[in-house]
Amino acid sequence: MKTIPQSNQAPETGTFFTRDRNWHPPAFAPGYKSTVFRAPQKPLIAFPNTLSETTGPAFGHDMLGLLDHDLIHNFARAGESAIGERIIVHGKVLDERGKPVPNALVEIWQANAGGRYRHKKEGYIAPLDPNFGGCGRVITDADGHYAFRTIRPGPYPWPNGPNDWRPAHIHLSIFGTGFVQRLITQLYFEGDPLIPRCPILNTIADEKAVAQLVAHLDMDNSEPMDSLAYRFDIVLRGRRSTPFENRMEGN
């Protein structure tokens, strides 16, 4: 972890906008069976943001290896590459006020083209790809932009209902500037007919919220004769602007 370069403006240290927990999925959502015994039943307790909430770890670009963002090659043997539809997944990390979030660490993980994860607890019959590990990471640039190169993951069956299949998806973990912006989510692909059938996606009540998790085919940023591209922007909680208020946070 390194200190990120400071500009001549002090970073905004305001508190975060409240999370809209009707927009996010609820803890208890019995259509997704694993939530039933893992959902808190007592009310969450609220209190105003302190420095414990408005600060968070910072990551420097120098932590990254050359292939950290390239899942086609970062686990492959020399001269080989992962099997599957070659895609670029890219977008911006923004906050709720639409401001880009630079220096945000974005980590992803996914199954291979056949829907098989490289994990010892995974027993699906589709084979592993010897040239595909399934994880990557990147840090957003000064404009909040990130990009990965990967293969499109396959759908896979899971023990929930008797015949449930996850849509093709990529898991994402994002750090903002404060620890309470911490977010894990999943990216889905435009046009996938499994999306409306998925019990995990259906934990989200608002169809506009579901739509925000769907990456769109982005022909303009595809590479002809090489890779298609999908665009996926990520919105983190915004900070309240406090330009004239000298808060009591230890000043």
- Residues 213-232 touching other proteins, rule: CB under 8 A, are 213
- Separation CA 91–CA 230 (nearest Å): 8
Identify which range of 65-73, 80-88, 146-154, 222-230 contacts other proteins by CB under 8 A: 65-73
> Per-residue x/- mask for other proteins, residues 169 to 208, rule CB under 8 A?
--x-x---xxxx-xxxxx-------------xx-xx---x
Tally of CB atoms within 10 A around 226: 9
Residue 166 burial (C-beta neighbours within 10 Å; 0-12, 13-18, 19+): buried
Identify which range of 79-87, 118-126, 143-151, 223-231 contacts other proteins by CB under 8 A: 118-126
Identify which range of 78-86, 112-120, 143-151, 221-229 contacts other proteins by CB under 8 A: 112-120
* Residues classed as catalytic: 117, 156, 166, 169, 171
- Does position 9 bind other proteins by CB under 8 A? no
CA 27, 33, 37, 41 torsion: positive or negative? positive
CA 20, 25, 27, 30 torsion: positive or negative? positive
- Separation CA 98–CA 160 (nearest Å): 37
Report the residue from 66, 79, 121, 127 that binds other proteins according to the rule CB under 8 A.
Answer: 121
Identify which range of 80-88, 107-115, 144-152, 219-227 contacts other proteins by CB under 8 A: 107-115
- Residues 24-63 touching other proteins, rule: CB under 8 A, are 24-27, 29, 32, 34-42, 44-59, 63
In angstroms, give the least distance from the CB of 248 to other proteins: 4
Output the six-digit token pair for 216.
Answer: 């769109």
> Per-residue x/- mask for other proteins, residues 122 to 161, rule CB under 8 A?
x----------xxx-x------------------------
β-strand partners of 183: 174
Please choose, from the candidates 150, 160, 157, 158, the residue with its C-alpha nearest in 3D space to the C-alpha of residue 113. Answer: 150
Please choose, from the candidates 72, 83, 89, the residue with its C-alpha nearest in 3D space to the C-alpha of residue 229. Answer: 89
